[in-house]
Amino acid sequence: MSKPLKINYLSVSESSANNPDNIDLLVREYASVDKTQKYNQCPVFKHKKNRTFVGYSPIDFKLGFDNGSMWSTDEDLIKDINVVDPHVIAERKVNAHNPSELVFQLDICNFAFWTDEPDVWMDYSSHPLTSLQNNYTVVEGWFNLSNWSRETSLATKIVDRTKPLVIKKGDPLFRVTFLSPDLNRGVFLKERKGKLSEVQFRMSESKNYEEGNKLFSKTPNKCPFPFLKFLSK
């Protein structure tokens, strides 16, 4: 049997530190499914779900609109709004009828992922329940994690602009799947402790991103976070 992939992760959200209920923030998806359902014993289903992890919220949060103005239960958790005019962001004035303005980057349950394994892809995707119970889907994407390590961002797209986005403590927020050339390899997540410097991270991110096609190409087995070596031990 192939040795499992080792994926390191570090929480980079301040809200995750405020977790008095000790909610598990990243859980293997198969661990949370209803084992009494027959389809959950299907090897095809199990194979995928054992390589997928679900992020859970440690806090409650709401965001909505009243007469074109945005409100939220915690403004500090809103890190970005995809509008061009900076005054719109500063004044929290959002046109609820313009869908292109209703994507919000939230500082909830975000992580830095990295690995020493070669050619490991990370797929960040929506959890199916969020469109129904939370009124959002995430901005999805995938890339070669071995080439370009970066922090995740909970970028939320509002589903129904007449209703608020509502997140409750313990709600699933997103899914992340790790894939390698040998899809039969399992995945082992290793949590690391410490702090990730915003400056160091952005420098590393820019260096890798500017190299363009490395986001989607094969690379040598090299840790793209040399300053995080102390966390890998």
Structure tokens at 59: 């806090």
What is the pLDDT of the chain when averaged over all its residues? 79
Is residue 188 helix, strand or coil?
Answer: strand
List Cα–Cα distances, 10 to 27, 36, 126, 230, 232, in angstroms: 14, 33, 20, 13, 11
Task: List Cβ neighbours of 19 (8 Å cut-off, separation of 6 or more).
Answer: 25, 58, 59
Q: What is the token pair recorded at 153?
A: 């961002």
State residue 151's pLDDT score: 83
**Residue-wise pLDDT tens digits, 62-84:** 998 887 678 899 989 998 776 54
Q: What percent of the chain is modeled with pLDDT above 90?
A: 39
pLDDT of residue 223: 45
* Helices assigned H by DSSP within the chain: 14-17, 43-49, 86-91, 130-133, 198-209
Residue-wise pLDDT tens digits, 89-102: 444 555 555 545 57
- On whether the CB atoms of residues 146 and 162 are closer than 8 A, the answer is no
Ordered by where they begin, the domains of the chain are 5-231 (2.70.40.10)
